[in-house]
Amino acid sequence: MKNIFTLSLLCISGLLFAQEEMTMEMDSSASIPVTQKYNHWSIDLGAGVQKPTRPFTEGAFMNTPSLTQADLGIRYMINNKFGLNLDLGFNYMESDDDSDLEFQSNYYRATIEGVANLGEVFGFREWTNGVNLLFHTGFGFSGLRTQEPIDGEDTDWMMNFQAGLTPQVRLSDKWAVFGDLSAIGHVRQTITWDGLSLANENRGFNSLLVNASVGVTYYFGNKQQHADWYSENVMQKLSDLEMEMDKMISDLGDDDQDGVPNYLDRDNTTESGVRVDSKGRAIDQNQNGIPDDMESALKAQYASKTDVDNAMNDNSSTAGTTMKKLINSGYINVYFEFNSAKPTTYSLGAINTIITYMQENSSANATLTGYADELGNEQYNTELSERRAKMVRDVMVAAGIDESRLTLEAGGEDTSVDKSSGNARQLVRRVTFSVD
């Protein structure tokens, strides 16, 4: 009995700790419980055998054990270690063939218990997610209804103290089977279990009933797991493993499709169709910021970087006119990656050029026209060309150019190049400028 009291105190202490933990999980600003990761409610329905040991009238006997008891548990787990249970029980007691006295009596029980999830406390989840063990203990009230009144009473009301162990086997996220072995002591029992005589004058814990049950558990809630089977450590390990797998998949991917996996790629934004080195960097032997595979095509149609730099550095009276002519002739352009409104790295110089011109010519206005290649839906490409123009405008406004000086146009698809050529398509994914 001392051991049972010790376990009970541990369970009650656990409940107090669980309550404190739940309070700590409350939102400090709104005092609302945070969203839980598991279900809390369950119903346990079991039946099995019983063994009332004392008190009995001399000469009255029952089958050992007797298959005539059932119970219903309504359980709420505060967290995945501790919870509460309302246990409702019924035992039918009758004489066996060897009894000198015939009798029938009915026993009813209602008990509030604390529940400790020993599987989580002792780390079952580290080696299994299919077997578990609960400990439960608590106090309640019981009634023994006799076949005939004893001393004018046909029902003996008493207090009960219950403790037990419940092994569980998980069937699914919603169902489990269990076994249970519970010892139930009683205080103030005045009538014997057989209902034939008064109990002795010792009305302390002189009454004992042992129940052994098997049954099923149903879990309520829309979460994947119930608190019985949830483990923070295991879920963290699964989360870490999932993150490692995601990282591995990302590392082995090739976002810019240059033939170099992401984990080796030092430039994951290279343009489609250009040659790269073993580190995924576009080959640029003269280090002018333009991939070599695109430079020849750019030189054939647009002004070189040297021409633009010379015009920008020209201090003569014709410098402004020269720069305006370069801009309006389509020599200054901002280029974009495929299906993107993000300017390519080598286009940042062109943006700086047009910003510098607008700053030095405060009366000038500019029209920004965006374009897309022919791949994809025409309406989508028109919207994409507009987004590209807006992106360049936003950069210019952020640099101090008044937005009222800038006009946007959506040029849509540029069909002036060979659609089957990747390098040619790169040249038309752009924003052009016209200044007055």
- Output the CA–CA distances (angstroms, integers) from residue 339 to 19, 297, 345, 401, 413, in the order listed: 54, 21, 16, 27, 12
Residue 69 lies in a domain: yes
Kind plus residue range of the DSSP H or E element containing 243? helix 232-252
Q: Do 219 and 118 meet the contact criterion of CB atoms below 8 Å apart?
A: no
- The residue segments making up the domain with residue 168 are 2-226
Number of domains in the chain: 2
Kind plus residue range of the DSSP H or E element containing 66? strand 66-77
Q: How far apart are CA 436 and CA 434, in angstroms?
A: 7
User: What three-state secondary structure class fits 123?
Assistant: coil
Q: How far apart are CA 181 and CA 190, in angstroms?
A: 25
In this prediction, the residues of the chain whose per-residue pLDDT falls under 70 are 1-36, 201-204, 233-242, 245-246, 249-252, 254-260, 263-274, 278, 280, 282, 284, 286-320, 422-423
Type of residue found at 60: A
Q: Round to the nearest angstrom and report the end-to-end CA distance of the chain.
A: 99
Q: How many CB atoms lie within 10 A of CB 245?
A: 10
Q: Note the pLDDT of residue 344.
A: 83
**CATH at residue 213:** 2.40.160.20
- Its pTM stands at 0.52
Looking at the structure, tell me whether residues 94 and 171 fall in a common domain.
yes
Residue 281 lies in a domain: no
Residue 278 lies in a domain: no
Looking at the structure, tell me whether residues 185 and 110 fall in a common domain.
yes
Residue 171 lies in a domain: yes
Residue 283 lies in a domain: no
User: What three-state secondary structure class fits 382?
Assistant: helix
DSSP secondary structure string, 189-222? --B-TTSSSB--S--SS-EEEEEEEEEEEEE-SS
Q: Note the pLDDT of residue 218.
A: 97
Residue 37 lies in a domain: yes
Beta strand 366-372 with 406-413: parallel, antiparallel or unpaired?
A: parallel
User: How far is CA 229 from its chain centroid?
Assistant: 16
Looking at the structure, tell me whether residues 420 and 318 fall in a common domain.
yes
Q: Do 141 and 161 meet the contact criterion of CB atoms below 8 Å apart?
A: no
Task: Identify the DSSP state of 281.
Answer: P
Contacts of 31 (CB under 8 A, 6+ apart): none
Tell me the per-residue pLDDT of 41-81, one tens digit each, with 9 for 90 and over: 999 999 999 999 889 999 999 988 888 999 999 999 999 99
- The residue from 193, 226, 259 where one domain ends is 226
The residues with which 212 forms a beta bridge, in sequence order, are 49, 181
- The residue from 169, 203, 226 where one domain ends is 226
Q: Which two tokens stand for residue 286?
A: 């003269």
- Residue 201's Cβ-count burial label (10 Å; 0-12, 13-18, 19+) is exposed
Q: Which two tokens stand for residue 230?
A: 């949830």
**CATH at residue 341:** 3.30.1330.60
Q: Note the pLDDT of residue 65.
A: 83
Query: Which residue's entry shows tokens 């963290």?
Result: 236
Phi-psi region of 335 (alpha: psi -120 to 50; beta: other; left: phi over 0): beta
Q: How far apart are CA 178 and CA 163, in angstroms?
A: 16
Residue 330 lies in a domain: yes
Looking at the structure, tell me whether residues 49 and 134 fall in a common domain.
yes
Q: Taking Cα atoms as reference points, which of 209, 198, 13, 199 lies closest to residue 111? A: 209
Q: How far apart are CA 96 and CA 50, in angstroms?
A: 14
Looking at the structure, tell me whether residues 120 and 222 fall in a common domain.
yes
Q: Do 177 and 157 meet the contact criterion of CB atoms below 8 Å apart?
A: no
- Output the CA–CA distances (angstroms, integers) from residue 433 to 150, 357, 365, 398, 402, in the order listed: 107, 11, 10, 18, 16
Q: How far apart are CA 421 and CA 144, in angstroms?
A: 93
Q: How far apart are CA 131 and CA 125, in angstroms?
A: 9
Q: Note the pLDDT of residue 424.
A: 74
Looking at the structure, tell me whether residues 222 and 296 fall in a common domain.
no
Looking at the structure, tell me whether residues 327 and 191 fall in a common domain.
no
Residue 174 lies in a domain: yes
Q: Which two tokens stand for residue 214?
A: 């098997």
Q: How far apart are CA 290 and CA 285, in angstroms?
A: 9
Strands (E), 258-340: 333-335
The residues with which 291 forms a beta bridge, in sequence order, are none
- The residue from 226, 252, 275 where one domain ends is 226
| Half-sphere exposure (Cβ direction) of 100: Cα atoms closer than 13 Å | 5
Q: Note the pLDDT of residue 340.
A: 87
Looking at the structure, tell me whether residues 222 and 299 fall in a common domain.
no
Cα Rg for the chain, rounded, in angstroms? 41
Q: Note the pLDDT of residue 425.
A: 79
Looking at the structure, tell me whether residues 204 and 64 fall in a common domain.
yes
Looking at the structure, tell me whether residues 108 and 204 fall in a common domain.
yes
Q: Note the pLDDT of residue 259.
A: 66
Q: Note the pLDDT of residue 203.
A: 61
Q: Do 153 and 174 meet the contact criterion of CB atoms below 8 Å apart?
A: no
Torsions phi, psi for 33 (to 5 deg):
-60, 140
